[in-house]
Amino acid sequence: MASPNEPSPPTDPERRLPPHHNPLPELSGQDAGVISQADFERVQASDEFVELRRRFRSFAFPMTVAFIVWYFLYVLLSTYAVGFMSIPLIGYINVGMAMGLAQFVTTFLLTWLYVRHANRQLDPLAEQLRNDLEGGA
Amino acid sequence: MTWKAVPDMQMGNPLLNMGIFALFVLITLVIVVRVASRANRTATDFYAGGRAFSGRQNGIAIAGDYLSAASFLGIAGAVAVYGYDGLLYSIGFLVAWLVALLLVAEPLRNTGKYTMADVLSFRMKQRPVRTAAATSTMAVSFFYLLAQMAGAGGLVALLMGITDHTQQGLVIALVGVLMIVYVLVGGMKGTTWVQIIKAVLLILGAGVICIMVMFHFGFNLSALLGEAVAASPDGVRVIEPMLQYGKDPLSFVSLSIALIFGAAGLPHVLMRFYTVPTAKEARRSVSWAIGLIGAFYLFTLILGYGAAIFVGKEAILAAPGGVNAAAPALAFKLGGEILLGVIAGVAFATILAVVAGLTITAAASFAHDIYNSVLKDGTATPENEVKVARITAVVIGVISIVGGVAANGQNIAFLVSLAFAVAASANLPSILYSLYWKRFNTRGSVWSIYGGLISAVGLIAFSPVVSGLKSSMFPMVNFAWFPLTNPALISVPLGFFLGWLGTVTSKEFDAAKQSEMEVRSMTGAGAEKAVAH
């Protein structure tokens, strides 16, 4: 009933049961909802899973590097290039203030891009694999 | 951020401030009792609010957890007094959320149950990794908790006109007792609702003052900045970097490392991802949190410059609470006693809500990871586990009252940045490695957690914040050989390095659990479901 590395008494009704099994299932036995080790390994090796992982990583990893580089560029310029950051751009808004506000803009933008990517590119594939694992036991 | 009491500078009407705070307590208590009476018996209810919150609700609660009194009063005050550097500081707190969004929130929700240790120990040997993860969870929560409780003393001086140390102690004790009640009665569900109400009040309150300020300047940011330059004794330097950190820029770089890698390793934030039913809702939580936290920091920028213009730097520094008085003083100037009362009530509510969130996290980690998984080998019933969690919450509450009273008036604001530094050095390397590095194993995890924890705490102990300077915790002695005021520059790379070193020097590897964890983290198959009531 419980995951193998986390022994728990079978009296806990909350483990591994999809919502439609509430209240406690009468038709299904002890193994309801449990996914076998072989299934995990089969899915991990499947083309669909490899594709899901590729789609996720090819977006998340480069974006992580990008925002970290952009943030530390901003921090290092603010700490060690005060003269440059103090150049006025529009009225009293200087380079530093503009870059600071741009950090807000890029953070919001990246959030929106990732949510869109995940909704369109990741969720359908993840759902298909999840249904395969949870339904096909 | 020291909290100094100057008795003759009291603003507003203390009775009104207290009245609004009492009203908040009353309303939230009624809500907590109501949600709790419906269902709060199982472990999933107590730790994770039945996993029944929507992404939007949880996102608001995350913002509530994150926008502590230190960030509300502290950042607005930093902008008011130091200008640009306050903005620079707040940006680290915001950008950090991208780490949580892109790399942590969804796989964490998919593989864990109640605590951070669930994820870290998923494919490792249970006892050593759970013990390490629980130790670091409790360390981070305790540093954060102590900072909040001690800060309450200063807030009392500022907003209620109570300057007597004993009476301040009584108010700190009252905050502690209320927090214990929220946690015991409401569990995670009650705590989450308190956070939601508080976050909405805080963001609305800040937004209203912000609009009042911008109205004066025709909603023109350049005009606001120009007026701030004219009003500031520092002149144009108030819109340029390094007015505050100029003497020690490397310490700021170190702090920014702690901020950006720390947020996604804060256990009380991670635990929030278990209160939603799916990974998709966890993602939605983070995007809501980013929107709200970002908007709030933009407000504090305007609040800060507004306070510098309408209140003035000298008046802020002379007020009780010093830098922290900027936002309340601005509220008083623009909206009189009523607006100040609302802001004061919200500031108190903030402390109360944040300490409740921290307490439930530490209690869950002790009961679930140490008591059940390590001491009882996972054989304790959920009822027993929750009972232990409740007892732990009371113990933590009492310790934090005692600690808060003892630390009242001490300069312990560095504890918040230390909590971030420990989260970044001890927790995040292990979280990222377990999720994304196949080969990662038990020794790597344990070395990384303890190495990051010990180096972060150790370096702070030998830094100028603890000894050697007039502003140090112990100004009379000097054992500071580490020059920076934040350890992250050293301890974060060390945490990552030790994780790698421990892994490559150990042959242990559980291939079966690795494939289960990877498939579950990416697909959500077999993830903990919401409880239907």
Contact between B101 and A75 using a beta-carbon 8 Å cutoff: no
Query: Is A27 buried (19+), middle (13-18) or exposed (0-12) by CB count in 10 A?
Result: exposed
Please report whether residue B528 resides in a domain.
no
Select from B196, B195, B183 the least CA-distant residue to B354: B195
Contact residues, chain B, for A134 at CB < 8 Å: 525-526
Interface test with A, best of B44, B98, B375 (most A CBs within 10 A): B98
Per DSSP bridges, beta strands A88-90 and A93-94 are: antiparallel
The CA distance from B90 to B241, in Å, is 13
The CA distance from B492 to A9, in Å, is 39
**What is the three-class DSSP state of B464?**
coil
Chain B nearest C-alpha distance from A91 (Å): 6
Chain B nearest C-alpha distance from A127 (Å): 7
Q: Does A53 touch chain B (CB under 8 A)?
A: yes
CA distances to A85, A89, B77, B483, B491 from A79, rounded to whole Å, are: 9, 19, 20, 17, 21
CA distances to A101, B235, B444 from A74, rounded to whole Å, are: 11, 23, 33
Select from B519, B116, B445, B436 the least CA-distant residue to A60: B436
Q: Tens digit of pLDDT for each residue in B177-212?
A: 988 998 998 899 989 999 999 999 999 999 999 999
The CA distance from B173 to B178, in Å, is 9
> Residue B321: which region, alpha, beta or left (left: phi > 0; alpha: psi -120 to 50)?
left
Helices (H), B232-273: 249-262, 267-270
DSSP-derived letter for residue A90 is E
Please report whether residue B411 resides in a domain.
no
DSSP-derived letter for residue B474 is B
Other C-beta atoms within 10 Å of B248: how many? 17
The confidence score (pLDDT) of residue B40 equals: 60
Closest residue on chain B to A43 (Cα): B519
The confidence score (pLDDT) of residue B7 equals: 38
> Which A residues in the span 83-102 are in contact with B, Cβ-Cβ below 8 Å?
85-86, 90-94, 96-97, 100
Total domains, chain B: 1
Name the percent of chain B in helix, strand, coil, to the closest 5.
Answer: 80, 0, 20
Select from B326, B410, B336, B472 the least CA-distant residue to B152: B410
The confidence score (pLDDT) of residue B3 equals: 38
Domain holding B197, by residue range, is 7-215+242-406
Which amino acid is it at A135? G
CA distances to B60, B61, B71, B203 from B197, rounded to whole Å, are: 9, 8, 18, 10
Contact between B287 and A5 using a beta-carbon 8 Å cutoff: no
The CA distance from A103 to B95, in Å, is 8
Looking from the CA of B474 toward its CB, the CA atoms found within 13 Å total 10
The CA distance from B18 to B337, in Å, is 12
Select from B289, B241, B227, B281 the least CA-distant residue to B49: B281
Q: Given B91, B250, B516, which is nearest A37 (Cβ)?
A: B516
Q: What is the CATH number of the domain that holds B299?
A: 1.20.1730.10
Under-50 pLDDT residues of chain B: 1-9
The confidence score (pLDDT) of residue A21 equals: 43
The CA distance from B13 to B340, in Å, is 9
The confidence score (pLDDT) of residue B39 equals: 59
Place of tokens 């949510």: A115
Q: Does A107 touch chain B (CB under 8 A)?
A: yes
Contact residues, chain B, for A80 at CB < 8 Å: 249
Looking from the CA of A19 toward its CB, the CA atoms found within 13 Å total 10
Q: Give the tokens for residue B480.
A: 């500071």
Under-70 pLDDT residues of chain A: 1-33, 136-137
Q: Are B142 and B150 in contact (CB under 8 A)?
A: no
The CA distance from B11 to B9, in Å, is 6
Helices (H), B239-325: 249-262, 267-270, 279-310, 313-318
Contact between A5 and B253 using a beta-carbon 8 Å cutoff: no
The CA distance from B452 to B138, in Å, is 14
Please report whether residue B28 resides in a domain.
yes
Q: Which helix (H) or strand (E) holds A94?
A: strand A93-94
Q: Given B95, B236, B532, which is nearest A19 (Cβ)?
A: B532
Model pTM? Answer: 0.91
Please report whether residue B321 resides in a domain.
yes
Q: Given A18, A72, A82, which is nearest B529 (Cβ)?
A: A18
The confidence score (pLDDT) of residue B532 equals: 65
First-to-final CA distance of chain A = 14
Contact residues, chain B, for A36 at CB < 8 Å: none
Contact residues, chain B, for A14 at CB < 8 Å: 42-44, 382, 528-529, 531
The CA distance from B90 to B73, in Å, is 12
Contact between B519 and A53 using a beta-carbon 8 Å cutoff: no
The confidence score (pLDDT) of residue A28 equals: 38
Q: Tens digit of pLDDT for each residue in A12-41?
A: 444 444 444 444 433 333 344 588 899 999
Please report whether residue B222 resides in a domain.
no
The CA distance from B370 to B352, in Å, is 26
Q: At what angle do helices B14-38 and B126-160 cross, to 10 degrees?
A: 150
The confidence score (pLDDT) of residue B533 equals: 56
Closest residue on chain B to A56 (Cα): B522
Select from B202, B256, B180 the least CA-distant residue to B70: B202
